[in-house]
Amino acid sequence: MGASSFGCCDRVGQVYPCSSLRKPAPDGTNPSIPAQRTDKERPPPMQLEVLRAPARGTPRPVDLLLVHGICVGAWIWERHFLPGLAAAGYNVHALSLRGHAGSPGRDGLHGYGLAHYAEDVRAVAAEIGRPVVVVGHSLGGAVVQTAIAGGARFAGAVLMASVPPYGLWPANLAMLTRHPRLWREVAVMSVAGVRHADPAVLRDGLFANRISAAEFAAFAARAHDESRFIGLELQGWRPFAPPAWMAPPMLVMGGGEDRFVGLSDLWMTAAWYGTNPDVLPGLSHTMMMDPDWPRALDCILAWLERNQVSGGG
């Protein structure tokens, strides 16, 4: 299992407001609209980090693409889910979104939004060249929904402890009332950075205190700051989810001890896409690294088998 990379556009376009338009110059050009860049003038494509695990035996008809949440990267899937899904016969790919882990773009991190991250997912899926089921965790779930709303076609999608289609504002209010210390530390992390938040509070929030302080320290050492813009966008002030008719077969799953995405949000997300959620009692928000991670893995594998998700699905 190793890291590989591919080309991906590092911008999604610009909008020039009508108020900035000026009269054409004597030569007929409009000075407010920049000239089109030639291929030589365009910035080089962004080389994203992708960790891959080939299927054991004959590969299943779909590949799996794993999309991480905030402040982490593809490495969060590496210990358990990459080998576990590959052992079940799937080619597995886990990308690090731009500005995360081994992918470039950290200097522009705070300007990235869901549209940028969705472009990363679309580019990886296109590079795979086979039917793909996408698995989005937390922020990654919002990215997957954004990609689908933008026209990306996947064989299936798994929303794993995902940001709901309407955003995090109800979960944010629920956290403020039920877990005020966690709410405060998430606010600190969003403004000042992950290194300034209380690790004990974050360990409870992300793992429901189901891992040791030493294990969380190792996890936190690899974490980094997240885009401030994305933190605002995830609240839901701008719609990002697709209508149900645009969505592929969908699994909505979450943990019973999730401090970020509660049961009501799981049920509302599932209702949005016309399905029922799979709730795993006892599991925390960071399900792929929870002590009971095999239950989360088995939930995904059972759904794939039950729905016979394939390239023609």
214-264 pLDDT, tens digit per residue, is 999 999 999 998 998 888 899 888 889 999 999 999 999 999 999 999 999
What is the Cα–Cα distance from 11 to 76, expressed in whole angstroms?
Answer: 26
In a domain, 185, yes or no: no
148: three-class secondary structure by DSSP: helix
Q: Residue 237 belongs to what domain range?
A: 43-167+227-307
More confidently predicted of 5 and 138: 138
* 259 belongs to a structural domain: yes
- Measured in degrees and rounded to the nearest 5, phi and psi for residue 67 equal -120, 120
pLDDT tens readout for residues 59-76: 999 999 999 999 999 999
Query: How many separate domains does the chain show?
Result: 1
Residues in CB range of 135: below 8 A, 6 or more apart: 64, 65, 66, 67, 157, 158, 160, 300
112 in a domain, yes or no?
Answer: yes
Map residue 41 onto helix, strand or coil: coil
Of the listed ranges 40-54, 204-218, 247-261, 289-303, the least confidently predicted one is 40-54
Residue 103 sits in a domain of what CATH number? 3.40.50.1820
pLDDT of residue 42: 41
Backbone angles phi, psi at 63, to 5 degrees: -95, 160
Which residue in this structure is represented by tokens 């959620």? 277
**Banded model confidence at residue 36, pLDDT cuts 50, 70, 90:** very low
Whether residue 25 is predicted with pLDDT greater than 60 in this model: the reply is no
- Name the residue type at position 133: V
Chain-centroid distance, C-alpha 203 = 20
- pLDDT of 289 higher than 70: yes
Q: What is the pLDDT of residues 91-107, one digit of tens each?
A: 999 999 999 999 999 99
- Alpha carbon distance 96, 70 (integer Å): 11
Residue 206 inside a domain? The answer is no
Let me know if residue 172 belongs to a domain.
no
Residue 131 placed within a domain:
yes
Q: What distance in Å separates the CA atoms of residue 5 and residue 46, rounded to the nearest whole number?
A: 9
In a domain, 24, yes or no: no
Neighbours of 83 (CB within 10 A): 15
Please state, in angstroms and rounded to a whole number, the distance separating the CA atoms of residues 252 and 257. Answer: 16
Helices (H), 102-155: 114-128, 139-149
- pLDDT of the residue at 309: 67
**What residues contact 102, with CB distance under 8 A and at least 6 apart?**
3, 49, 73, 74, 96
